[in-house]
Structure 1
Amino acid sequence: MQQQRTFDPVTLITATAPMKADVYGGRAKCLQRLVRLDMPVPTTVALSFDAVHRIANGQMPAMDEVLFPFGDTPLLSVRPSSQDPDWGGPGAILNIGMCDARHAQMVKDIGEPLATRLYLRFVQSYAIHVARLDPEMFDLPANAGQAGLKQALDAFEFETDEVFPQDPAVQLAEVLRSMARAWEGTTARLLRQAKGAPADAGLGLVVQAMALGVGPGECGTGVIQYVDAATGQPQIKGRYLGQSQRREALGDVEGAIFLTHDDRGPSLEDLCPDIFARLVEYGDVCRRKLREEMSVEFTIESGALWILDAVRVQRSSRASVRIAVALAEDKIIPREEAVLRVQPTALSEMLHRQVDPSAERDLIVSGIAASPGAATGKIVLTASEAQASAARGEACILVRRETTPEDIRGMHAAHAVLTMRGGITSHAAVIGRGLGLPCVVGASDLSIDLRKGLIISPDGRQFAAGDVITVDGTAGDVLAGQPAMTEAALDGAFQTLLDWADDIRDIGVRANADTPLDAKTASNFAAEGIGLCRTEHMFFGSDRLGVMREMIFAETAADRRAVLDRLLPIQRADFGELFDIMQGQPVCIRLFDPPLHEFLPSDKAGLRDLAEQLALPLFEVSERVAALTEYNPMLGMRGVRLGIAIPEIYEMQARAIFEATVASATPVVPEIMIPLVSAMKEVELVKSRIDAIAASVAASSKVDFKYKLGVMVETPRAALRAEDIAQHASFLSFGTNDLTQMTYGLSRDDAGRFMSAYVQQGVYDEDPFHSLDVEGVGELLSIGAERGRLGRPDVTLSICGEHGGTRSAIAFCRSQGFDYVSCSPFRVPVARLSAAQLTLLDLANSDI
């Protein structure tokens, strides 16, 4: 048995010292790596997580042990060293050790103005951040001189009834205590938990000899990085400021100069060419040896170069992809590691315009972030207004209480959608993600006054139709005006990374695509076919809706067939275009699903138009619409129930599919999916009719073709009876939107009203419409998969609900041996990367 290594609470950082990031923090470990790479790092001592925790509880280490490496007259800095730099920590404290005696000596060495400035700066920092005194008492300019220094020392004594500490050991002890207590405070704990840190995350501290950056000769500080943080492209960036300390050179500071030669002004390359060349060399060493793009903080002291720190370059999503791919292409890291380094959400951000992180945000209302990206436009309150706006070439934002299928044309015309009602799987959310349209739903604090053409924010502000707003579907915010945007960025590195991911992942990824535009998007994102085509969305076009309404009002089967015969060539063309776009890849077509009332108007003006179209009395149309209205239409006459009660619809769709198959230029095996099944007999009835249509088309066309018939499992009973159902179905695709709705007894359109309260109070860990409930709904999926295989061992299994693009659902499907997941087209890249990462993590765990 290997003996566990022990670590000292206080350790001098050397090339051979035992130093681990989970004991002393990431900064301490990085400094050791810099020492090992022979970089000129000032003397540094690391305090472990345990030592800092003890300090917070009043147990100080032996200060003579901490101070010993720094000599008799130390001048020090203390900085935090958390395990992950993104978790933050208390701010650095510089110039510890400044006192009256050290000030007097430094006056002789570097002159009175610089020595006084350093002493004053330390007194200010100590008083505010260590002694926690009122900052206004010490609000003095850096060049306040001897009078300012005396004022600060007097203020400290007045506020604390003690003279400013003169012993470096006392100063250092108080700094360590203050930083340790700050880390363990409630506010700091909540802040780092928001960044993903565990509640009990430890903090290390590094005590480092000051490299002054002020004094005779060339002195100053700077920061250099070797890539553009926005694009990831190689580029030396940074600033250098003479006679300064730490990170003063950053930002728009008077006197700061460029690093590389620049016609606009002086540069460090011109001023100190040898030092600049060394910094460039160190950047290359860091990249090769630390296997990362680093930002290096440096100080020049009387012409000598010191490296104070190196941290991972903060980067945009685009840059994170570019950097990971470049490191792999240069053989610095393997491709598998590059795939693991990129967060899937980074790809999602790259696919859409985003609100610039530095832009000011005038918040109108917040809701549920339903579809990522951001868009600016004029407010419109109806679908027809959105279409009119698009015809004028004006960007618009469609604002509705909630959208219905009748709004689809308006959603196509809009640049973004905002609804008061709805959840993550509501109509607006699903269609928005499919279109790549920024969408915020469930903004229940918003009010809409259709008569006055206004929306009213929670704080009472009114915005009229035509006013400009911005929908941030990534954050779930609606903003006033037009903040600055960053553009979508799909470059070669994006595609390269996904190609590598495809070589690794072990589960298929298809797209939910309802229109040719959706299919083209899916194809561009390398989806392996269409896993769900919701055909009802094809019926809302201007050339189809009226015909569909005539069919609904037809009295007999013969009359319905006569009307549907007019839709047949349109549907055939729809499916033919999908087949052509997908070039022989699988296309899974779900037969007609929604209740018929969704195709009928509900307002008086719409009813009058329909009566005129059908040449029927208004009262007769109104009565018929009322008769078709259901108390709970999502659980009523829809899906397969319509297909059995009104078989002419499914017969027309099947004929259109098969005729498009025969006419397709590329061989295709269409997959026909029956929705909302709950009994084997339903499948038998529909299958017999579809088989008859297939035989009829084959006979008339004299072309043999194959097709697959499957079931969309979205009722609990279908999951429980999957063994019977699978005997008549070659595939089972789990529709997790409806399955979640029926399992929980929750309306997916209304749950947003109270879901945040449920999640906040721990009733549910997460919104089950946003993240697959693997315990409850997942058990039904497991049962359905197991029983489905009993009925048909070679049955194909998948999920096609909105969960399909989420990491947790992909992990679950892989564990259950599913064949593929299907998700909105713009989620396909994210799903491809997530699937690859999950495969790699499983392989790594299996090797342990």
Structure 2
Amino acid sequence: MGHKFLDFLNVTRYIEIAANSMTHWRNSMFNLTYAFAEGNKDLRDILGGKGANLSEMTNLGLPVPQGFVVSTVACRAYLKAHELTDDLVTEIRSRVSDLETVTGKTFGHGADPLLVSVRSGAKFSMPGMMDTILNLGLNDVTVQRVAQRTENLAFAYGSYRRLIQMFGNVVFEIDIKDFNEASHKVENVRGYGSANFTRQDWLLVIEQYKQVFQAQAGQEFPQDVYDQLFIAVEAVFKSWDNDRAKVYRQLHNIPDDLGTAVNIQQMVFGNYSKDSGTGVMFTRNPATGAPGLFGEYLSQAQGEDIVSGARTPDPIANLEASKPQVYQQLKTIAEKLEKHYQDMQDVEFTVEDNHLYMLQTRNGKRTPNAAVNIAYDLYEEKLISAQEMISRIEPGMIEQLLHPSFLASDLAKHDSIASGLPASPGAATGEVIFTAQGAKVAAEKGHHVVLLRNETSPEDIVGMTVSEAVVTSRGGMTSHAAVVARGMGTCCVVGCQDLQVDEAGAVAHYAGGVLKEGDIISVDGTNGKIYLGTIKTTAGSVSDKLNKILAVCDKYARLQVFGNGETVKDIREAIVKGARGIGLARTEHMFFQPDRLKAMRQLILAENDADITSTLAYIKGEQKGDFVAMFETLLDKPCTIRLLDPPLHEFLPTKEADLQQLAQSIHKDYNWVAAKAAALREVNPMLGLRGVRLAVTLPQIYQMQVEAIIEAAILVSEAHQVNIIPEIMIPLIGVTPELEMAKKLCVDAAEGIFEKTGKRLDYKVGTMIEMPRACLIADELAQDADFFSFGTNDLTQLTFGYSRDDAHKFLPTYLEDHLLPNDPFQVLDTKGVGALMNMAATKGKAANPKLKVGVCGEVGGNAESIEFINTLPVDYVSCSPFRVPQARLICAQTQLRQEAEKNGVEYKASSVTA
């Protein structure tokens, strides 16, 4: 069928010719360009990803059409000077001359013209973000030479038409539809399609294209092929700064100052004949990670035809029947590339007249599920080490895997109506309900509910527990709604100021509309967006392979990972997800059920010792049952129980109707109840009657809790023959006498139980470090404490002087104006809060070498925070159950990274998710 543009029957010999013809570069001027034979995969900074991989494939002996790379160094120089330097122009001309020698073709003249592609290739893959020009080197003369040599008019002139169109679109931003209209005009005049075009028809099409080009570009299409080449190189350099490339870099945290390389490569033609085509394949399935070729093939086409979607390609598997030799060659190359790169590859190839050519390989983008499966499979296949496997999983992948997410194809059909702070990840759809009781009633009828409030309080727990999602118009990332929802693993968006919620009127206004009770909305707790209507979701889960990877992570991590939880459900969730135990059980969360809330209110409003004693007896029974259930779930795993912490007034309602209902339920006068509640209300409750201050003013509460803990531990220890060692944590210590007094109270209560029952067990008493002053006197506190646990939410609040419930009103502006690098309630402030933690942990362990130190605030599952915490004398972090797997991964990656840096070795993190 005429001329074959390349013949790679002896690939090794070809590479030798290419290398030998260019050996002079090493001792000459070349420093801005590299032949493929001169590069390798480790020169990504200079050659870009595509150029480095083309070089590597060339050196592996694969059938790569030869060419050279204009380096990122040259790009950065161009972006400063806005013109190609004389040195670069000279180098490019010399490289083209070398390419002519290697290929036996001539650029812009001769019987066998050299045609090239010009493609971008940054260090990091940016698919579709920058520009490509194919078939460069065709003009009015060379197109005739190609037509004569190939005996294929449609191929030659079709390629020329494509060049004019791509050149016009990329360089001068001429709309492709203008060229298509010109082509259709000729077809309409002739009455037949391009498959039947004569030479005259093709000449007319080309003339029409050139007219469109001249009219839109203001100049004639360049006939000098070097003019084409230099303009194309400039266009690729300029595309580094186009809008879509900038947005992509911002989304994927790619630095703006890297620049792109330009790959100039001899063309091979998938549109050459019926035995030609182009394809894109992955060496494994990028959606599932399953081994085997996965991709598409389009016959009689060039690569851009697949990308544009103009034609529907066939599955790559069809090649096995239609071109078995090519398919087997692809399989062999795929296996070779995977073993060489030790990762799943995304490969572009062209078949020209039944000859296979490799145009690109790179680490393939993949879904989180596929990333986990591929990493573990490669580890099992002994292609990568355990450390490498761990580095290939991104923390965000695990978050996506564990929580439901909206189906991308369905999400694309919806626009968000409001956005807020992504307090608890996941995705959910339900009907809007404005009250907790209303949510409970609707859920009991089988409805899916989204609880929408201005803010939530302990009273709303009955509605929160049955809701698919919780949305509040006020509050920050450590507000009641955020903390409780995260603990329950419920999707939650807080601080959604785009919504004006009228709870009494049961409506919420947003820009452009109104939400009424019963309206359906969809909530994305991962990005904080609210959508109208139903959006389909995909379920999250922990796979067997992810569990195996996390088990390996635990072997490399220095920090242990515990879970925050106080319900059996949360505790089980944490343990199933790999927590070593419970690092924070908040007892105040045990009082949210209506009967217990009523009892706590009776205790707070009690008028005499008899009322206090009887109420405490009831609460103790309930608490003991809680602790028995907790210990039975954990058995010999450690559990740190924090004694009651919040201000008492938080247990009391504020609205008149609720106060009236409370007065009736406890048989008290409404005015008296209202006055008592008002008296307990505090100006700054975070600094008021809470934490250890309750033990000072109402020691019976802490005594009751300790008795319940010890009795439950004895009961479960005997029943299950396990050694339970309860850890009792006293919150909000600020001065040493507070801890001495509170510890004595705990010891006396425990000893009383031991004396009463005649049974004894070990237990520990420690404190939560959340006051800056506690950090300063940590060595004193360590004398009386068995453990420290940093409550970073309050420590951050008190160090900055920011109310964690109100900071959302100004923190977004602080972040936008770069007054703060991060929200300190989400990412640990290392200079201030971190310095206090370092001081406290160091002084504490120096005073008490047996002191156990942990971190149980919001930052316990945050990657940036753990990076710092891992440098402190801290033993563990504790986080919500759903963040445990992510924290286990981060702890291992952090340890490996810091060890690598210490040893002067580069640590490579993953960047392969789709």
CA positional deviation for 1:300: 0.9
Alpha-carbon shift at residue 47 of structure 1 (Å): 1.0
Residue number in structure 1 paired with 2:726: 670
- After superposition, residues 473-622 of structure 1 pair within 5 angstroms as 473-622=525-674
Instruction: Please say if residues 41 and 53 of structure 2, whose CA atoms lie closer than 8 Å, have aligned partners that are also in contact.
Output: no
Of 847, 856, 862 in structure 2, the residue corresponding to residue 800 of structure 1 is 856
Residue of structure 1 equivalent to 2:50 = 27
TM-superposition CA deviations, 1:120-162 (whole Å, max 9, x none)? 2211111121133455543437676534432220122234443
Moved more, 295-304 or 11-20: 11-20
Deviation for aligned residue 1:526: 1.2
Deviation at 1:406, TM superposition (A): 1.6
Q: Which residue of 2 aligns with 1:294?
A: 345
Q: Distance in 2 between matches of 1:122 and 1:198?
A: 32
| 1:744 maps to 2:796 | no
- Structure 2 CA distance for aligned equivalents of residues 193 and 6 of structure 1: 36
**Aligned counterparts of 1:191 and 1:311: Cα–Cα separation in 2:** 18
- Structure 2 letter corresponding to 1:116: Y
Match of 2:213 in 1: 156
Instruction: Tell whether the 8 Å contact from 1:51 to 1:61 is kept in structure 2 after alignment.
Output: no
Q: Distance in 2 between matches of 1:141 and 1:696?
A: 96
User: What is the rounded CA distance, in whole Å, between the counterparts of 1:212 and 1:119 in structure 2?
Assistant: 13
> Which residue of 444, 456, 460 maps to 2:497?
444
- Pair 1:252–1:490, CA change in 2 (3 A): farther
Q: How far did 1:807 drift? A: 1.7
SS at match of 2:761: coil
1:625-649 deviations in whole A, cap 9, x for unaligned?
Answer: 1111111111100111112101111
Alpha-carbon separation, structure 1, partners of 2:634 and 2:518: 39
Name the counterpart of 1:660: 712
Of the three residues 77, 86, 99, the one matched with 2:117 is 77
- Distance, in Å, in 2 between the alignment partners of 1:4 and 1:713 is 65
Deviations 1:191-217 (A, max 9, x none): 424421223112111111111112235
AA matched with 2:289: G
Q: TM-score, normalised by structure 2?
A: 0.89
From 693, 709, 713, give the equivalent of 1:641.
693
Q: Which amino acid aligns with 1:74?
A: L
Structure 2 residues without counterparts, runs of 5 or longer: 1-25, 107-112, 188-193, 195-201, 905-914
Query: 1:761-772 counterparts in 2 under 5 A?
Result: 761-772=817-828
Letter aligned with residue 79 of structure 1: R
How far did residue 187 of structure 1 move? 6.9
Displacement of 1:334 in angstroms is 0.4
* Contact 1:88–1:192 (8 Å) recurs in 2: no
User: Within 2, Cα distance between the matches of 1:787 and 1:27?
Assistant: 53
The 1-side partners of 2:117 and 2:322 are apart by: 27
Contact kept in structure 1, 2:435 and 2:503, CA below 8 Å? no
CA distance in structure 1 between the partners assigned to 2:423 and 2:879 by the alignment: 14
1:348 to 2:404 alignment: no
State whether residues 508 and 821 of structure 1, in contact with CA within 8 Å, keep that contact through their aligned partners in structure 2. Answer: yes
Partner of residue 169, structure 2: 128
Over the residues paired in the alignment, what is the CA RMSD in angstroms?
2.1
Q: Deviations over 1:10-47 (max 9, x none)?
A: 11101777971111111111112212222111012111
Amino acid at match of 1:48: S
Alignment correspondent of 1:200: 257
SS at match of 2:408: coil
Structure 1, residues 203-234: CA drift from partner, whole Å, max 9, x if none? 11111111111223501111122322222122
- Listed as ranges, the matches of 1:154-553 within 5 Å are 154-184=211-241, 188-189=245-246, 191-249=248-306, 254=311, 256-260=313-317, 267-358=318-409, 359-360=411-412, 361-457=414-510, 459-553=511-605
3-state SS of 2:711 partner: helix
Q: Is the 8 A contact 2:789 2:856 kept in 1?
A: yes
**Residue 752 (structure 2) aligns with:** 696
| Deviation (angstroms), 1:103 | 2.2
Does the 8 Å contact 1:87/1:197 carry over to 2? no
Give, as a single letter, the amino acid of the residue that structure 1 aligns with 2:556: I
Q: CA offset at residue 4 of structure 1? A: 15
Aligned CA distance change for structure 1 residues 18 and 766 (closer, same or farther; 3 Å)? closer
**Contact in 2 for aligned 1:121/1:142 (Cα 8 Å):** no
CA contact (8 A) 1:406 1:598 kept: no
Q: Is the 8 A contact 1:367 1:476 kept in 2?
A: yes
- CA, structure 1 residues 296+160, in 2 after alignment: closer, same or farther (shift >3 Å)? closer
Please give the residue correspondences for 1:719-734 in structure 2 after superposition, counting only pairs within 5 Å: 719-734=775-790
1:327 match: secondary structure: helix
Give me the whole-angstrom Cα distance separating, in 1, the residues matched to 2:242 and 2:70: 19
Total equivalences in the alignment: 839
User: 1: CA distance between counterparts of 2:244 and 2:584?
Assistant: 47
Q: Indicate how the Cα distance of structure 1 residues 197 and 785 shifts in structure 2: closer, same or farther if over 3 A, else same.
A: same
For 1:499-534, what per-residue CA distance to the aligned partner results, in whole angstroms no more than 9, with x for missing partners? Answer: 110111011111111211110111111101111111
Q: Secondary structure at the match of 1:768?
A: coil
| 1:667-693 Cα deviation digits (max 9, x unpaired) | 210000011111111111111121111
Distance of 2:592 and 2:424 partners within structure 1: 22
CA contact (8 A) 1:523 1:581 kept: no
Residue 65 of structure 1 is matched in structure 2 by 94
In the alignment, which residue of structure 2 is the partner of 1:264? none
Q: Which residue of 2 aligns with 1:263?
A: none
Separation of aligned partners in 2, 1:569 and 1:464: 43
Task: Flag the 1:782–1:268 CA change in 2: closer, same or farther, 3 A.
Answer: same
**1: CA distance, partners of 2:878 / 2:449:** 30
Q: Please give the alpha-carbon distance, in whole angstroms, between the structure 1 residues aligned to 2:537 and 2:254.
A: 30
Distance 1:75 1:800, change over 3 A: same
Tell me whether 562-571 or 32-41 shows the greater mean CA deviation.
32-41
Q: How many percent of aligned residue pairs carry the same amino acid?
A: 36
On the 8 A contact 1:223/1:250 being kept in 2, the answer is no
User: 1:303, CA displacement in angstroms?
Assistant: 1.2
Letter in 1 for 2:261: G
